[in-house]
Amino acid sequence: MRKPLIIAIDGPAGAGKSTIARSLASRLGFTYIDTGAMYRAVALWALRAGIDLEDLHRLEQLALAARIEFTADRTVQLNGEDVTAAIREPRVSEAASKVSQAPGVRRALREEQRRIGAAGSVVMEGRDIGTVVFPDAQVKVYLDADPGVRAGRRAAELGATESGRDQIASEIAQRDQRDRTRAEAPLTQAPDAEYLDTSRLSPAEVEEAILKLVRERTSNGKEHH
């Protein structure tokens, strides 16, 4: 039996990572891992516990103690509780952006991501999967899109008004800046990752481009488990 196949998808907010990764995993029968949801789960726990988001030691302790699981029916579990909806609240999104800057949190969740990836074939998306978490992933993709397009997509997801879209565009720009300049595992394209600009591509077109890469990497015809 061959080692699990890792498909690493990185990129900034609104590039289409979650939509594509979820669909790909379903199509291939792989486990879908949204690493952003893991940071959101830690952020949710921190908010509930009243922990100062600047307290790096306490945040690391939470990340080490958190039991985060992804179920077959696509729910996210935190310590046995379904938090799929709760981690998408705006206040949690903002907190997650700060929590993800903590080096200790990133280290703790990185080890958990590697444990999951070692257990079976996965499609894992985030911001440092191909560069740090799985630098030896067989398939690496960096999804990007024009900032205006990304803001429009996020606004559509949230059902935001035109004025709300401007606010979302500003938040995405700030998130991009934080992600690209943080000291621990900044957002960057891996040298061996395939760059895909999704600005003018449909989700189906992006998915087919990635599937072509998967076929090229597994052209020996052997199954991955």
Residue 178 maps to which CATH number? Answer: 3.40.50.300
Pick the last residue of a domain from 96, 119, 142. 119
Residue 186 has pLDDT above 90, yes or no: no
pLDDT at 97 over 90: no
Residue 132: pLDDT over 60: yes
**Is the Cβ–Cβ distance between 93 and 51 less than 8 Å?**
no
Domain boundary among 64, 93, 119: 119
Verify that 128 and 114 share a domain, yes or no: no
Q: How far is CA 99 from CA 13, 51, 54, 92, in A?
A: 16, 11, 8, 10
Residue 225 lies in a domain: no
Give the residue-averaged pLDDT of 50-72.
94
137: exposed, middle or buried (Cβ count in 10 Å: 0-12, 13-18, 19+): buried
Range of the domain at 189: 1-30+121-214
Q: Let me know: does 35 contact 129? Beta carbons within 8 Å.
A: yes
Secondary structure of residue 65 in the 3-state scheme: helix
Quick one: pLDDT at residue 175? 83
Q: What mean pLDDT do residues 199-220 have? A: 90
Q: Which amino acid does the sequence have at 30?
A: F
DSSP 2: B
Q: Which residues pair with 31 in a beta bridge?
A: 122
Write down the pLDDT at residue 17: 92
Do 146 and 188 lie in a common domain? yes
Domain for residue 71, yes or no?
yes
Q: Are 151 and 14 in contact (CB under 8 A)?
A: yes
In this structure, are 39 and 16 located in the same domain? no
- Nearest Cα residue to 109 out of 176, 23, 184, 32: 184
Instruction: Please tell me the distance from the alpha carbon of residue 65 to that of residue 52, in angstroms, as a whole number.
Output: 17
> How are strands ordered across the β-sheet holding 122-126?
31-34, 122-126, 6-10, 139-144, 194-197
Question: Does residue 67 contact residue 91 with C-beta atoms inside 8 Å?
Answer: no
- Of residues 43 and 223, which shows the higher confidence score? 43
Same domain, 125 and 204: yes
pTM assigned to the model = 0.86
pLDDT band per the 50, 70, 90 thresholds, residue 38:
very high
Q: What percent of the chain has pLDDT above 90? A: 65
Non-local CB neighbours of 158 within 8 Å, separated by 6+ positions: 164, 168
Under 8 Å CB-to-CB from 203, ≥6 apart: which residues?
Answer: 16, 19, 20, 23
How does residue 1 score in pLDDT terms, banded at 50, 70 and 90?
very low
The alpha carbon of residue 70 and the mean position of all alpha carbons in its chain are separated, in whole angstroms, by: 13
Mean pLDDT of the chain: 90
